Structure 1
Amino acid sequence: MAEARSPGAGALWAISSVPFIMVLGNSMLIPILPTMQSVLGISQFQASLVITLFSVPAGLIIPLAGFLSDRLKRKWIIIPSLGLYALGGLVAAIGAWIGQWVFPVILIGRVIQGLGAAGTAPIAMALVSDLFQGGERSRALGLNEASNGLGKVVSPILGAWVGSLLWYGAFLLFPILTIPVMIGLWLAVKEPPLPKGMSAARYWQSFVAIWKRDAHWLLVGYFSGATALFLLFGVLFYVSETLESVHHLGVFARGTILAVPLTGMCTASYLTGRWIKKNRPLMKGAVVGGLGVIAGTLFLLPFLRSPGWQLGDLVLSGIGTGVVLPSLNTLITGTAEREERGIITSFYGSVRFLGVAAGPPVFSQLMKLPPVWMFGLCAGLAAVAGGVALLFIRVSGHPPSRRKSPLSSSLGNRPKAAGIK
């Protein structure tokens, strides 16, 4: 398998650059939100909409992108979507530069970016699963998630640095950084031939069959992924606001501090992908244990007084997130065959985006509560997610994707992907 896919090393790096670029869409802007509030005279909640109006359109459109990617080449969805993503950044930058209706134009640009983002990282995850099988798949998905995490590490520093020079400079970076990724995908990724076509009715019949069979744990997986990212981006928003309003730190210092826990997340994602391989019990344990770490660290955070201890606690929370996400990625992408994987994965990507979208505005309201209550509620949410994962993700018996579905029956027997249960 590895020898047959040796040309795929370049393809894997090209595909993994997609989540790296996509995650810049939110993470690069978080450290400059307080600056944006000051320059534009907007409220904390309004500033949070810069994140939300990117993530909500993406979350709503991702299932459509997944459906199209199952019926077309994945590249044919990803590359135009990246172009739309770059265009949205350019619109936001032009609006800020012209100086008329600045905030509404920025929000319009963010909506355009979100529509483009719908066809990027979730489809890239499905594409990785198309090209790699078995233990190679978990390692490839781990690298994909680590690239996502690396983007989260680099983006606060990059956004802070550019923002210290020009507050809307981050918007200009989107087209500059996206175009090389589009070229790399076009040149490096060679997709396998599309399988035998089927009617839309049979496609949905197969999708419904998978959903009926695996909904009990797919919903748990979706909830766990959304929870991890909701808490991650909510806490990052809280930290950025606190560093500016309480500690009066500049934008570059804020970006550098935000990068520290995200480095822990990135490292954990990469190592977890290499560690879990095809071991489904390990994947479940990683999901449950990672959510437990998130719950414990968030519960302790308001009781820690030293900034050093607080930062260390946030690093552990980031590590917990980094353990959860690649494990969920492998479990969920292994549920379906290539012909159905795009939409199954896209629903997962959709709830991930919606989790990100909810984080900043919800935390902007939670920050009105005492920290003990705010972080207690967050810890409780993570604990609930870990508990339902422990109860409903089962690893005994045959993987679900080895069972017959309407689609596999109509197209004949093919090698099956790994799943859970």
Structure 2
Amino acid sequence: MDNKYKKMLAAFASVPFLMVLGNSMLIPEFPKIKSALNINQFQVGLLITLFSASAGIAIPFLGYLSDRIGRKKIVIPSLILYGFGGLIAGLAAIFLGEKAYKVILVSRVIQGIGGAGTAPIIMALVGDIFTSNQRSEALGIIESANGLGKILSPILGAAIALISWYALFFSYAFLAIPITAAIWFLAEEPEDNIKQQSINEYLGNIKEIFKKRGVSLLFSLLGGMVVLFLLFGVLSYLSDILETRYNVKGLIKGLVIAIPISFMSTTSYFTGVYLKNKGKYFKHALALGLTINAIILTLLPFIRNLYLYISILSLLGVGSGLILPSVNTLVTSSAPSEERGGITSLYGSVRFIGVAFGPPTFSLLNRISERVMFFGGAGIGIISAGLIFTFLDEKKIISAEDNGQGSNSEGSKSTR
């Protein structure tokens, strides 16, 4: 990969880094936000739910537009909208005080719509530019940037909240500026990457992709949804018990939460490199990762020592790091470039669904008991692993490259 494409990939990686801050930076600071706005746990949780739900709804539509008018024309305005939503929330907190809650909810919907047109579309653009072997490595880097955002987000959130809790929202607007500029100046979209087609033709092409790769593609999407469902469910619970059970707060709390996520980020990178070299074993990595996560969830309710708890929980990061680059490659390889935006956007919606439902589901199950919560999550993980290993045929998906359905752009050729 020459220097030009390394710079481009660095610009692409900055986008999921920013997007993951949208939820992950707020979660550790929920107690401060609840106190400042005089709201309860359910209401503060809506800050995550509305962001993720609006993103999940908007993603398929923006994916269609990105196939029709180009990726950059969607990503850049979406980044601006994302930053604008953060600016609205910050200003509302300053001028409205406790009455700012409803305005902040609206701003989170705006941010979610902006987020919908960023990271999922960037994933499609990476799929357009890089061919199958380089694509695994490139997507591993993208997922590592996502993981790095998760690592730094609790630490950044705790540090920024030392200024004020609403400074978190202003930080979204501030960070969006250089990242927008980087995409504007460094990203080069393949010239043959736009396909003029009606919505009916577009949906027909997506339907045809599912006809050819339906079961395998569906179980790939399932893997992406389940891993984030489990991850965010556990992280939301961890954020709570660090304070209530272990009295760990502030920057120390952020550092502790960052430990398992750092394992995920590191594993994502090396998994991407390994899969790039092998060009196979995607479903094996998926099933293994979900199995590891299920085993970890089964062990956690029996552990009370903080150091051992975090050590075991770090293996959940390893499992997640095996899964995400595998799913990313399978999804982006399942369609030709002119329909890739739709497929990756659908994948983005599925990911957001996992993020949106993980914390409330874990919270609901925890009302029954901690063991029900963890065993329930473990059951979902092991059942998903079995289904994926049994029914996912990665050759049907990866063969899209061999059949000439992948990107034929000049950029792709240069990275072979």
Structure-2-length-normalised TM-score: 0.93
Q: Please state which structure has a larger fraction of its residues in helix.
A: 2
Give how far 1:84 is off.
0.6
Indicate the RMSD between aligned Cα atoms, in angstroms.
2.2
In structure 2, the partner of 1:139 is 137
Whether 1:276 and 2:239 are equivalent positions in the alignment is no
Q: Against the structure 1 CA distance between its residues 77 and 284, is the aligned structure 2 distance closer, same or farther, given a 3 Å change threshold? A: same
Structure 2 letter corresponding to 1:216: V
Structure 1 letter corresponding to 2:216: W
Deviations 1:143-201 (A, max 9, x none): 00000000000111000111133112111100111110000111111111034744324
What SS does the corresponding residue of 2:165 show, helix, strand or coil? coil
Contact 2:133 2:279 in 1 (8 A): no
Give how far 1:203 is off.
3.0
Q: Against the structure 1 CA distance between its residues 246 and 103, is the aligned structure 2 distance closer, same or farther, given a 3 Å change threshold? A: farther
Output aligned runs, 1:1-400, within 5 Å: 2=1, 6-98=3-95, 99=97, 101-195=99-193, 197-200=195-198, 201-277=200-276, 279-396=278-395, 399-400=398-399
Deviations 1:346-375 (A, max 9, x none): 100101011101122222222212211110
Give how far 1:414 is off.
9.4
Quick check: 191-200 or 136-145, which moved more? 191-200
Deviations 1:357-397 (A, max 9, x none): 11222222222122111100011111111111101111457
Deviations 1:50-84 (A, max 9, x none): 11111000011101111111112211100100011
Q: Against the structure 1 CA distance between its residues 363 and 397, is the aligned structure 2 distance closer, same or farther, given a 3 Å change threshold? A: closer
Contact 1:52 1:360 in 2 (8 A): no
What SS does the corresponding residue of 1:296 show, helix, strand or coil? helix
Q: Structure 1 CA distance, aligned partners of 2:41 and 2:244?
A: 11
Structure 1 letter corresponding to 2:170: L
Deviations 1:92-140 (A, max 9, x none): 1111111152211111111110010000000000111111113111100
Give how far 1:280 is off.
4.9
Quick check: 95-104 or 77-86, which moved more? 95-104
Q: Structure 1 CA distance, aligned partners of 2:45 and 2:144?
A: 26
Structure-1-length-normalised TM-score: 0.92
Give how far 1:402 is off.
5.5
Q: Structure 2 CA distance, aligned partners of 1:356 and 1:225?
A: 10
Extract unaligned runs of 5+ from structure 2.
Answer: none
Q: Against the structure 1 CA distance between its residues 104 and 134, is the aligned structure 2 distance closer, same or farther, given a 3 Å change threshold? A: same
Q: Against the structure 1 CA distance between its residues 398 and 141, is the aligned structure 2 distance closer, same or farther, given a 3 Å change threshold? A: closer
What SS does the corresponding residue of 1:165 show, helix, strand or coil? coil
Give how far 1:399 is off.
3.9
Q: Structure 2 CA distance, aligned partners of 1:231 and 1:402?
A: 32
Contact 1:45 1:364 in 2 (8 A): no
What SS does the corresponding residue of 2:385 show, helix, strand or coil? helix
